[in-house]
A = this chain, B = another copy of it.
Amino acid sequence: MPARVQLDPFDLGTELSGFGTGAGAVVTFTGLVRDEDGRLVALEIEHYPGMTEKALQAFGDKAAERFGLSDWKIIHRHGRLEPGEQIMMVATASRHRAAAFEGAEYLMDWLKSRAPFWKREITPDGPGEWVEAIQSDEDALSRW
């Protein structure tokens, strides 16, 4: 399955081994937990099992068709993630670089506000509020 949701970390080199064979251009995006100047103990990510996988698969298929991707992959983690840990990755492969870049940006824009994930910050004081969606992520979708 090119779309996965998992607790465990992933290894980018392993994930990309054999990825995009025959393509000329591979783009990856990896999201990492920032430490927010030491304020953050961990990020907690919740998702909607069942719907998440379906949504990621649908985004990937749509991106593949729209941008002519020969290959794509999405991995998103859930659970408790500490600063510096990977949150997620997308990878796209295409004959030309513009399509691979656009496909990856499109997938990221969709993921940010249309895939059923929610996160909250855990600080030394305990779990904080759930992170609110930001308008710029919603706006980013309007370009597609």
Seen from chain A, the residues whose Cβ lies within 8 Å of a Cβ on chain B are 11-14, 16, 20-35, 84, 95, 97-98, 100-101, 104-105, 108, 140
Contact = CB atoms under 8 A, between A and B. Distances in A.
A22 B108 contact: no
Given A29-B97, A101-B101, 6 more contacts: A11-B13, A20-B32, A22-B34, A22-B35, A27-B29, A29-B101
Contacts of A23: 32, 34
Contacts of A13: 11-14, 16
Contact of A22 (B30, B84, B98): B84
Nearest to A18: B84
Contact of A101 (B14, B34, B105): B105
